[in-house]
Homo-oligomer: A and B are copies of this chain.
Amino acid sequence: MKNLHDRILKEGKNLGRGILKVDSFLNHQVDPGLMDECGRELGRRFESVEATKILTAEISGIAPALATALHMGLPLIYARRTKPITMPGQVYLTTAPSHTRGQMVELMISPEYLSSEDRVLIIDDFLATGQTILGLARLAQAAGARVVGVGAVIEKTFEEGREALAPLEVPVEALAIVIDMSGGEIILR
């Protein structure tokens, strides 16, 4: 993923407190060619896990998860943070601390689209503390589904999300790994 690394180093901004701004290609403006490349690579890394569905969280997870879903030919479900009027009364709901909002947020999915037959691959834009991803895993498990992998576009190792995900006992893949931002720069592995 040389292109991804290059873009992070060229356009990423270290805003301090571990916040990496990549709004020019991932989180506000999206580069579709780069997303396609990320989706292809995540699909390749998870081709053996026999996933049946991809699960992500709105909002920023949707683009990389859709790109992955396209390459894997699997349906994508995005967990909602607020309940749309089209969602049934009974849902799977959990809460997770939002890294970028500094508060707890709700995550919910409808029981209509996940079942105990499903093998769920979780895809998100960032693997930071891992709390959003653990919330998604709880939703999948509430539906009786099995989580079979976790993929992220960018991991920040110093927030220790990979350690937090260890109890899931699934492969965890990240396409770019940021190991240090404490000095004002962005250091990739």
Chain B binder among A2-10, A74-82, A161-169: A74-82
Query: Do A32 and B86 have beta carbons less than 8 Å apart?
Result: no
Contact A31 B110 (CB under 8 A): no
Q: Which residues of B contact A112 (CB under 8 A)?
A: 23-24, 29
Instruction: Give the contacts of A26-43 with B (CB-CB under 8 A).
Output: 27-33, 35-36
B33/A87 in contact, CB under 8 A: no
Give chain B residues whose Cβ lies under 8 Å from the Cβ of A27: 84, 86
Give Cα distance in the complex from A101 to B83, angstroms: 9
Q: Which residue of B lies closest to A67 (CB)?
A: B66
**A30 contact from B76, B100, B101, Cβ within 8 A:** B76
The number of chain A residues touching the other chain, given as a range, is: 35 or more
Interface check A70, CB cutoff 8 A: yes
Stretch from A57-65, A142-150, A180-188 contacting the other chain: A57-65
Cβ-neighbour of A85 out of B33, B66, B100 (below 8 A): B100
- The residue on B at minimum CB distance from A35 is B66
Q: Is A158 an interface residue (CB 8 A)?
A: no
> In whole angstroms, how far apart are the Cα atoms of A36 and B35 in the complex?
14
A19 to B62, CA, bound (A): 23
Query: Is A153 an interface position by the 8 A CB rule?
Result: no
Are A15 and B74 interface neighbours, CB within 8 A?
Answer: no
Q: Which 8 A/B pairs are nearest by Cβ-Cβ distance?
A: A32-B69, A21-B86, A29-B113, A32-B70, A30-B76, A62-B62, A58-B59, A29-B77
Query: Closest chain B residue to A13 by CB distance?
Result: B86
Given contacts A15-B85, A21-B86, contact A32 B110 (CB under 8 A): no
Which A75-105 residues have C-beta < 8 A from chain B? 75-78, 80, 82, 84-87, 100-101
